Amino acid sequence: MRKNTRPYLLIVSILIFSVSLHAQDLSSVQREIDKQVWAPFKAAYEALDAKTLNQIYAKEVLRVTPQGIDTENAFKKANLIRFNQRKKEGTVISLDFWFDSRKTNEHTSYEVGVFRITTITEGIESIIYGQFHIVVKKIKGTWKITQDWDTGTVNGKPLTADDFAYKTPAEF
């Protein structure tokens, strides 16, 4: 009876090892996404560098906000105008976020999280909380945002500091 269980143990061991290697692979893919997308996104947003921020997005992007759907990249033009205006006003911005879920394979990642944007203009602080759903895809060897959806409410309730405090912000 012992001899008959050995092949099964070997198969189970191989499967566990294979799953472990796959998880490590996906972890390295997510680190690559962090390096190519999230660290530069945060830095560009906080520096009010719309040109660099826009370059993190693919050429064709589906952007969805409470204001509607943008399939013409109008948000990129709006970034240039808005960030330029905020620079003129002397606005300081801080962007923090954490991931609730990251479903990743070798070419695509669907990433969901919660963000906090803090702005200070002329000594007046404003804080906005929201949830994001982002799709990033590897295009010609580089990770790019291809879909960007965000909202300030979930199930009809505004996101708050309590929601954001659920997890620690990501660090890059």
In a domain, 172, yes or no: no
In a domain, 171, yes or no: no
E strand map for 66-161? 68-70, 92-104, 108-121, 124-139, 142-151, 153-154, 157-158
In a domain, 95, yes or no: yes
pTM, to two decimals: 0.84
Identify the pLDDT of residue 26: 84
In a domain, 85, yes or no: yes
The per-residue pLDDT string of the chain (172 residues; one tens digit each, 9 = 90 and over) reads: 555 666 555 454 444 444 443 445 789 999 999 999 999 999 999 999 999 999 999 999 999 998 999 999 999 999 999 999 999 999 999 999 999 999 999 999 999 999 999 999 999 999 999 999 999 999 999 999 999 999 999 999 999 999 999 999 999 9
CATH number at residue 79: 3.10.450.50
Identify the pLDDT of residue 5: 62
In a domain, 111, yes or no: yes
Residues of the domain holding 122: 2-164
Domain count, the chain: 1
Helical (H) or strand (E) element with 44? helix 39-46
